[in-house]
Structure 1
Amino acid sequence: MGAIEGEFWSADTHGVQAPLTDEAVREAERVLGVVLPAVLIELLRVQNGGGVVSGRSAYPTNTPASWAPDHVPFEGLMGIGSTGDALTILHTPYLVREWGLPERVVLLTGDGHWWIALDYRVCGPAGEPSVVWLDAEMDEDLTLAPSFQSFVEALAPAAAFGESG
């Protein structure tokens, strides 16, 4: 793969959407009102959502988060589409309203109580979004990485951290 080295997707097919097309990307960007990062589109062209390999199942944090003092989980990445009953990036507008999350974010993964999202609040809809941890119950908003690429490059095995969640 170009920008991301090594394996990313696991054999877990839950949440996998139909293969990503240029039309689907354009429609998603229209619905979400943002330009999605090229690295995200690159990953979703390989596999449109699903589980990630165990070697990339957590993001190390320097600041304690509600999940754990040293990391947050990243076991899957939502795709773009409407196949099956899995949540996708296209559900972001509804989920932001439902969970009282900040506007101008695009949700990448989460369980309702917490989310990892692209944050367009500072960069604007065409800028390079940072990646944030949002905990809806704890009202926590923690910047994880300055870009999606730097986020993916820093992912680590959850097993490298102690008990959590």
Structure 2
Amino acid sequence: MDIWVTNYDDDPYKLEDIDEQTINAFERNLKLKLPLSYKRILQNQNGGIIKYNSVQAGGFQEEDVYLEINHIYGIGHPGLLDSPYLIKEWDLLQNILVFNGEGNAWFALDNSSEPPHVIYIEADSKEVIKVAPSFEEFLKKLTYKELSQEYEKDSWSKEEAETIFSGQEEFLIEEVLLSYQDTEDIEWYLANLLQLTEHSSLLVREAVASVIGVNIEYFLYESPEPSLKILKRIINNLSRDKSKDIRREMKEVKVQYDL
């Protein structure tokens, strides 16, 4: 099954190609077996953004319930090797393998069953939803759904924006983020920027860095004192980012504005 987006040069989830030997070593290290269907897609591409944006979930009485998903992990970092850390950090279920997530929700293989079920875990409520009885069935249920009418517009309320910022749609997050960069409620906006500096998506963090770089003078000279403290925390967080380009951009901001 061809699931990968191949024309996105800055895909943060696309890792170096791997072979069967690397997959076998990964399985030995984590003492588990990847489903054959998972191994096949990794041999085509080692993780990345997928052509789909949702999967139809099982376990619901209602019809047409879909969960958002836009990437699948490969073997490496960020990827399947992060699963033990994520389980500990977010107090997730044991005996699972996390293969997608953004901090507020996770898709994982539940290795307590054979074959492993695909489950969806809400981080806050700890609700577990059975999505598919196997990874192969999960792949068959991937689909592309047009954004709901709620999001097909040029402006969003703050409540809608906050919901989007806490989700997994990185392109939508970027769009909403940029639409609010001229807001008069600077403190609210910077608080959300600060939250997004911890986002797992490189695209989102790059968008935050871009907003800071373009609007730094506006934020510096128009912000109340509490907002300036948030601004400095944002710049400090980005200065430690995994991306050297983001770190370099923030260094330039610090030097130019003596921060």
Q: Shared topology, TM-score over 0.5?
A: yes
Distance of 2:132 and 2:147 partners within structure 1: 19
Please, which runs of 5 or more residues in structure 2 have no aligned partner? 151-163, 168-259
Over the residues paired in the alignment, what is the CA RMSD in angstroms? 2.0
Could you list the per-position Cα deviations for residues 53-93 of structure 1 after superposition, in whole angstroms to 9, with x for gaps in the alignment? 1xx220112556xxxx81111200111024xxxx2101111
Distance 1:138 1:111, change over 3 A: same
* TM-score, normalised with respect to structure 1: 0.80
Q: Which amino acid aligns with 2:54?
A: A
In proportion to residue count, which structure has more helix? 2
Alignment correspondent of 1:100: 91
**Offset of residue 162 of structure 1:** 6.0
Distance of 1:161 and 1:59 partners within structure 2: 15
Please, which runs of 5 or more residues in structure 1 have no aligned partner? none
In proportion to residue count, which structure has more strand? 1
Q: Which amino acid aligns with 1:58?
A: S
Which 4+ stretches in 1 moved above 3 angstroms? Answer: 160-165
Alignment correspondent of 1:141: 128
- Larger Cα Rg: Structure 1 or Structure 2? 2
* TM-score, normalised with respect to structure 2: 0.53
Q: Of 27, 33, 38, which aligns to 1:35?
A: 33
Find the residue that maps to 1:97 and give its secondary structure. Answer: helix
2:148 corresponds to 1:153? no
Distance of 1:100 and 1:31 partners within structure 2: 21
Distance of 2:98 and 2:145 partners within structure 1: 21
Find the residue that maps to 1:159 and give its secondary structure. Answer: coil
Distance 1:162 1:89, change over 3 A: farther
Find the residue that maps to 1:121 and give its secondary structure. Answer: coil
Q: Identical aligned pairs, as a percentage?
A: 27
The residue correspondences of 1:11-160 to structure 2 (distance < 5 A) are 11-12=7-8, 13-53=11-51, 56-63=52-59, 70-82=65-77, 87-123=78-114, 128-159=115-146
Is residue 58–residue 132 contact of structure 2 (8 Å, CA) maintained in 1? no
**Offset of residue 160 of structure 1:** 6.7
